[in-house]
């Protein structure tokens, strides 16, 4: 449902911006936000001291496992966080900054671009079992290197091409493929973790993995927000794309042994 909302919401928003005024949209958004707040306030979750103590002890056991017997699982958890910081956060920040602030893409087109990115995630989730079966799990890093290589090509296009249409096309193609491939990689990471953790610890370990990924994403968004705020032209942006591609391919190459 989350991915589906990611597909439909940008498309609906693009149409809404064409039909309604910004004030109307802001008032409706505020209304829904207030409803959500009221729902949170009225939601009652009983807390018991014993449960809190048990949760802290469980957290200690999981962290001990990740730094000792489960070192491979711990490295996979860090890889998930690094992917979110370097790649996912960049796409999240670069899409609105480039398409809306620099290239001034129309609202409905921008909504379609965001929907396309979300559709790439949904398609990857559906096709992951087939993809992993075909290329084998230990070759997933190759997909990572190929997809981030497109970011390198996009960076070179920014440096040497003058056609705005071609540059935008390269950005969209590279972002869609990156979202697709790294969704496959994220699912592969979770599958590999599930296969290496005892059932009684699986839920706690996955919770830590998700925590690392969730913390890495906003940190990456803050970092890239600052970076894209100081770039001034296509050349600067091209250098940023090339740098991110290079770091991502290095991470992909070093992660190849995690899936063996």
Q: Which domain holds residue 116?
A: 2-259
SS3 labels along the chain: CHHHHHHHHHHHHHHHHHHCCHHHHHHHHHHHHHHHHHHHHHCCCCCCHHHHHHHHHHHHHHHHHHHCCCHHHHHHHHHHHHHHHHHHHHHHHHHHHHHHHHCCCCHHHHHHHHHHHHHHHHHHHHHHHHHHHHHCHHHHHHHHHHHHHHHHHHHHHHHHCCCHHHHHHHHHHHHHHHHHHHHHHHHHHHHHHHHCCCHHHHHHHHHHHHHHHHHHHHHHHHHHHHHHHHCCCHHHHHHHHHHHHHHHHHHHHHCHHHHC
CATH of the domain at 103: 1.20.1250.20
- pLDDT, residue 104, reads 82
Give me the pLDDT at residue 1, please.
46
Counting the structural domains of the chain, the total is: 1
Residue 3 has pLDDT above 70, yes or no: no
The label of the residue with tokens 């940008």 reads 10
Which of the pair, 250 or 201, is modelled with greater confidence? 250
Mean pLDDT of the residues in the chain: 78
Which tens digits make up the pLDDT trace of 54-75? 666 666 677 776 676 556 777 7
Least confident range from 27-31, 42-46, 96-100: namely 42-46
pLDDT in tens, 172-212: 888 888 888 888 888 887 777 777 777 777 777 777 778 88
What is the percent of the chain where pLDDT is above 90?
Answer: 3
Q: What is the predicted pLDDT for the residue at 246?
A: 92
pLDDT at position 47, please? 54
Alpha-carbon span 16 to 157, nearest angstrom: 33
Query: Quick one: average pLDDT of 71-97?
Result: 84
pLDDT level of residue 243 (50, 70, 90 thresholds) = very high
Given a cut of 70, is residue 77 above it in pLDDT? yes
Q: What is the pLDDT of residue 2?
A: 46
Q: What is the pLDDT confidence band of residue 259, given thresholds at 50, 70 and 90?
A: low
Min mean pLDDT across 1-15, 31-45, 220-234 is at 1-15
**Would you say residue 223 has pLDDT above 80?**
yes
pLDDT over 70 at 48, yes or no = no
Q: Which has the minimum average pLDDT: 14-28, 94-108, 117-131?
A: 14-28
pLDDT score at 7:
45
CA distance 13 to 52: 41
Of 119-128, 140-149, 191-200, 205-214, highest mean pLDDT: 140-149
């Amino acid at each position: 449902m989350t991915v589906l909302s990611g597909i439909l919401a940008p498309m609906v928003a693009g149409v809404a911006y064409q039909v309604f005024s910004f004030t109307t949209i802001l008032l409706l958004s505020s209304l829904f936000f207030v409803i959500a707040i009221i729902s949170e306030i009225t939601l009652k979750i009983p807390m018991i001291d014993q449960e809190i103590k048990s949760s802290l002890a469980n957290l200690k056991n999981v962290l001990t496992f990740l730094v000792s017997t489960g070192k491979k699982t711990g490295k996979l958890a860090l890889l998930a966080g690094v992917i979110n910081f370097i790649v996912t956060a960049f796409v999240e920040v670069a899409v609105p900054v480039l398409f809306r602030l620099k290239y001034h893409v129309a609202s409905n087109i921008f909504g379609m671009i965001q929907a396309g990115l979300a559709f790439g995630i949904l398609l990857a989730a559906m096709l992951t079992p087939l993809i992993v079966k075909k290329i084998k799990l230990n070759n997933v890093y190759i997909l990572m290197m190929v997809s981030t290589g497109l970011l390198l090509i996009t960076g070179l296009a920014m440096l040497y091409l003058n056609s705005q249409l071609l540059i935008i096309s390269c950005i969209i193609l590279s972002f869609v493929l990156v979202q697709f491939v790294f969704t496959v990689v994220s699912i592969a990471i979770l599958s590999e973790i599930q296969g290496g953790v005892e059932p009684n610890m699986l839920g706690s370990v996955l919770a830590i993995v998700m925590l690392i990924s969730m913390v890495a994403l906003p940190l990456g968004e803050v970092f890239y927000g600052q970076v894209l705020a100081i770039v001034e032209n296509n050349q600067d942006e091209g250098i940023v794309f090339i740098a991110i591609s290079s770091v991502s391919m290095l991470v992909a190459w070093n992660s190849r042994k995690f899936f063996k």
